[in-house]
Amino acid sequence: MPIIKQLSVTAPNRPGQLARICESLAQNKVNITGVDASGSNRQIRLLVNNTARAQKVLQKGGWNTRVEEAVVVSASDRPGQLARIARKLAQRGVNINYAYATVGRGSNRAAIVLGVSNAKKAARVVK
Protein backbone atom coordinates (compact mmCIF):
# COMPACT_ATOMS: atom_id res chain seq x y z
CA MET A 1 0.00 0.00 0.00
CA PRO A 2 1.74 3.19 -1.11
CA ILE A 3 2.00 6.30 0.97
CA ILE A 4 1.09 9.33 -1.14
CA LYS A 5 1.19 13.08 -0.80
CA GLN A 6 -2.07 14.90 -1.28
CA LEU A 7 -2.93 18.55 -1.20
CA SER A 8 -5.48 19.75 1.33
CA VAL A 9 -7.18 23.06 0.51
CA THR A 10 -9.45 24.96 2.89
CA ALA A 11 -12.00 27.05 1.04
CA PRO A 12 -15.45 28.47 1.83
CA ASN A 13 -18.35 26.34 0.67
CA ARG A 14 -19.74 28.67 -2.03
CA PRO A 15 -20.94 28.26 -5.60
CA GLY A 16 -18.02 28.22 -8.02
CA GLN A 17 -15.27 27.65 -5.45
CA LEU A 18 -14.35 24.17 -6.64
CA ALA A 19 -14.56 25.34 -10.25
CA ARG A 20 -12.08 28.17 -9.57
CA ILE A 21 -9.64 25.82 -7.86
CA CYS A 22 -9.85 23.26 -10.66
CA GLU A 23 -9.54 25.95 -13.35
CA SER A 24 -6.44 27.39 -11.68
CA LEU A 25 -4.82 23.98 -11.64
CA ALA A 26 -5.80 23.19 -15.23
CA GLN A 27 -4.41 26.52 -16.48
CA ASN A 28 -1.09 25.54 -14.89
CA LYS A 29 -1.08 22.03 -16.36
CA VAL A 30 -1.75 20.26 -13.06
CA ASN A 31 -3.82 17.10 -13.52
CA ILE A 32 -6.24 16.08 -10.78
CA THR A 33 -6.34 12.31 -10.31
CA GLY A 34 -8.50 12.19 -7.18
CA VAL A 35 -10.71 14.59 -5.21
CA ASP A 36 -12.73 14.73 -2.01
CA ALA A 37 -14.68 17.91 -1.23
CA SER A 38 -16.83 17.87 1.89
CA GLY A 39 -17.89 19.71 5.01
CA SER A 40 -19.38 23.14 5.68
CA ASN A 41 -15.97 24.84 5.71
CA ARG A 42 -14.92 22.98 2.61
CA GLN A 43 -11.89 20.77 3.07
CA ILE A 44 -10.84 19.81 -0.44
CA ARG A 45 -8.33 17.00 -0.75
CA LEU A 46 -6.64 16.66 -4.11
CA LEU A 47 -4.47 13.97 -5.61
CA VAL A 48 -2.52 15.63 -8.40
CA ASN A 49 0.33 14.82 -10.75
CA ASN A 50 2.54 17.58 -9.28
CA THR A 51 1.83 18.41 -5.63
CA ALA A 52 4.49 21.12 -5.31
CA ARG A 53 3.27 23.00 -8.40
CA ALA A 54 -0.36 22.66 -7.34
CA GLN A 55 0.40 24.04 -3.89
CA LYS A 56 2.30 27.00 -5.34
CA VAL A 57 -0.49 27.80 -7.81
CA LEU A 58 -3.23 27.64 -5.19
CA GLN A 59 -1.31 29.62 -2.58
CA LYS A 60 -0.65 32.30 -5.19
CA GLY A 61 -4.43 32.33 -5.80
CA GLY A 62 -5.06 33.00 -2.10
CA TRP A 63 -6.13 29.55 -0.93
CA ASN A 64 -4.81 27.99 2.28
CA THR A 65 -3.11 24.70 1.49
CA ARG A 66 -1.07 22.02 3.15
CA VAL A 67 0.49 18.78 1.97
CA GLU A 68 -0.49 15.69 3.94
CA GLU A 69 0.25 11.99 3.74
CA ALA A 70 -2.39 9.43 2.98
CA VAL A 71 -2.34 5.79 1.96
CA VAL A 72 -3.92 4.25 -1.10
CA VAL A 73 -5.26 0.71 -0.96
CA SER A 74 -6.21 -1.32 -4.00
CA ALA A 75 -8.95 -3.76 -3.03
CA SER A 76 -11.25 -6.17 -4.79
CA ASP A 77 -14.64 -4.67 -5.60
CA ARG A 78 -16.72 -6.98 -3.45
CA PRO A 79 -18.68 -6.76 -0.20
CA GLY A 80 -16.64 -6.59 2.98
CA GLN A 81 -13.30 -5.43 1.60
CA LEU A 82 -13.36 -2.00 3.26
CA ALA A 83 -14.56 -3.62 6.50
CA ARG A 84 -11.59 -6.00 6.40
CA ILE A 85 -9.13 -3.15 5.84
CA ALA A 86 -10.69 -0.97 8.55
CA ARG A 87 -10.65 -3.87 11.04
CA LYS A 88 -6.96 -4.62 10.39
CA LEU A 89 -6.06 -0.99 10.98
CA ALA A 90 -8.20 -0.78 14.13
CA GLN A 91 -6.58 -3.91 15.58
CA ARG A 92 -3.17 -2.25 15.18
CA GLY A 93 -4.34 1.03 16.74
CA VAL A 94 -4.38 3.04 13.50
CA ASN A 95 -7.24 5.54 13.37
CA ILE A 96 -8.93 6.35 10.05
CA ASN A 97 -9.58 10.10 9.97
CA TYR A 98 -11.25 10.11 6.55
CA ALA A 99 -11.62 7.93 3.48
CA TYR A 100 -12.71 8.30 -0.11
CA ALA A 101 -12.81 5.72 -2.84
CA THR A 102 -13.92 4.84 -6.32
CA VAL A 103 -14.23 1.89 -8.64
CA GLY A 104 -13.71 2.75 -12.28
CA ARG A 105 -16.39 1.63 -14.69
CA GLY A 106 -15.71 -1.93 -15.74
CA SER A 107 -12.98 -2.36 -13.13
CA ASN A 108 -12.93 -5.04 -10.48
CA ARG A 109 -10.60 -3.07 -8.16
CA ALA A 110 -11.36 -0.17 -5.85
CA ALA A 111 -8.87 2.61 -5.14
CA ILE A 112 -9.34 3.64 -1.50
CA VAL A 113 -7.60 6.72 -0.11
CA LEU A 114 -7.24 6.71 3.66
CA GLY A 115 -6.14 9.57 5.87
CA VAL A 116 -4.82 7.78 8.93
CA SER A 117 -3.16 8.57 12.23
CA ASN A 118 0.05 6.79 11.21
CA ALA A 119 0.66 6.34 7.48
CA LYS A 120 3.84 4.29 7.85
CA LYS A 121 2.21 1.82 10.22
CA ALA A 122 -0.90 1.61 8.03
CA ALA A 123 1.24 0.85 4.98
CA ARG A 124 2.78 -2.10 6.81
CA VAL A 125 -0.56 -3.40 8.15
CA VAL A 126 -2.71 -3.41 5.02
CA LYS A 127 -1.30 -5.09 1.94
How far separated are the first and last CA of the chain, in Å rounded?
6
Three-class SS state of 72: strand
Neighbours of 21 (CB within 10 A): 25
Question: Would you identify the CATH topology of the domain 70-125?
Answer: Alpha-Beta Plaits (3.30.70)
Burial class (CB in 10 A: 0-12, 13-18, 19+), 57: buried
The reported pTM is 0.87
Q: Does domain 3-68 have CATH number 3.90.110.10?
A: no
Which pLDDT tens digit goes with each residue over 54-107? 999 999 999 999 999 999 999 999 999 999 999 999 999 999 999 999 988 888
The domain locations on the chain are 3-68, 70-125
